[in-house]
Amino acid sequence: MIGRYSLPEMAAIFAEPARFRRLLEIELLATEAWASIGVVPPEAARWCRQHAPVTDDEFVAAVSEREAVTDHDVAAFVDVLQSRIGTAHASWIHYGLTSSDVVDTAWCWMLRDASELLVAASSELVATLKAIAIEHRSTVMIGRTHGVHAEPTTFGAKVALWALQADRDRTRLLAAQRAVSVCKLSGAVGTYSNIDPAVERFVAERLRLTAVPATQVIARDRHAEYLWACAAVGNTLELIAVELRHLQRTEVREVEEGFKAGQKGSSAMPHKRNPISAETISGLSRVLRGNLQAGMQDVALWHERDISHSSVERIVLPDSSLLAHYVMRRGKRLLEGLQVFPARMLANLDSSFGLVFSQPVLLALVQSGMTRDDAYRVVQDNAMQAWRTSTSFRSLVEADPRVIIDANGLDAAFDLTRSLRNIGAVFEALDAIQ
């Protein structure tokens, strides 16, 4: 992933020196596990731990140089590691293991740690959305269906639904974390033919991972679930971003992204203030969905393993982790700086001549004894005339001899508070999340 969309705490997890430190630790723990059951001499395990190299940039370069000879990354890593440890004790490194034992366990360890950052960012996003929803619980605006004025709602109710969805994303991230917090050290086809199951249990306990049955590789539905959770985060942030992009349009202008001192919206037009964060989030969510597609295709591997998934995962697992983390942080920043214009929201609601109250009028006519279809036609006729003539919908209804509703009934039908009287149900659901 390019640095532009990488936050340092997540990038650190997937940096090459850090990845090699994990591979090294797995190898050392496996050697110590063998020692604990009397296969490896205890002094050999101690020597390997005491003389283990620092996996810095120089070490990474040495492995890359060796890989040019072996054409096998883990074999190159083991070769360099054994040479740095030195003496005959180093021969116990990688004893009974196959490459995927080490690589897959390291991947799951990295994804477990990445998940912790994702869950933390998700919790902060939920809290931000919840606070905005409560703040704007009574900020009245028009609800739109198909992009057209429908009935009144509040900006707080809109944001509350976003918060509920973001909370479901958090649940998905936690489930994905459980799915990937596993390990396997069971050999070439997962049968423990050359490794004692006690070694796997030892390593799993030390790394706080769960040992699972596997072939040569851990089943990739786990990784696909992780990628789905990341993509779901992107979907939710894009849902929010698309709505905010629409509401910031000049013709609507009900909200606006924050604009800091010194910022420029356009290199050519000084008046511009563009929804750049929302548009960035929309774009990055497409990458997250694309990565999910690749991850889904990684599930079906030949027999007990092939490496068609390996090259894909080197890209999509770090990138999706970085992007999901980034869009949540970027989204939180966008929401915290969001400007909301309640007066403009009310003006837009009023701009459709009162047509937003067409359903209460319809229901009042039904209550007066009119058939629903007849009532619908009466309301529709007046609504269309209001549009054509830019006339108050209520005045047209009052003048229509077919309408037998007294003034109190019309007042109730055109009462904004009546339209929003039950909106508290949304906030009851919001209050239930932490």
CA atoms of 24 and 229, how far apart (whole Å): 29
* Residue 266 a catalytic site member: yes
CA atoms of 146 and 7, how far apart (whole Å): 37
Query: Helices 276-297 & 308-336, crossing angle to 10 degrees?
Result: 160
* Residue 146 a catalytic site member: yes
Q: Which of 146, 271, 303, 390 is catalytic?
A: 146
Q: Which of 91, 138, 193, 266 is catalytic?
A: 266
CA atoms of 167 and 325, how far apart (whole Å): 15
Residues 6+ apart with CB under 8 A from 189: 215, 216, 304, 305
Burial class (CB in 10 A: 0-12, 13-18, 19+), 272: exposed
Q: What is the 3-state secondary structure (H, E, C) of 209-274?
A: CEECCCCCCCCCHHHHHHHHHHHHHHHHHHHHHHHHHHHHCCCCCCEECCCCCCCCCCCCCCCCCC
| Residue 7 phi, psi dihedral angles, 5° rounding | -95, 140
Task: Determine the residue type at 258.
Answer: G
CA atoms of 241 and 233, how far apart (whole Å): 12
Residue 55 in contact with residue 22, Cβ under 8 Å? no
Residues tagged active-site: 146, 266
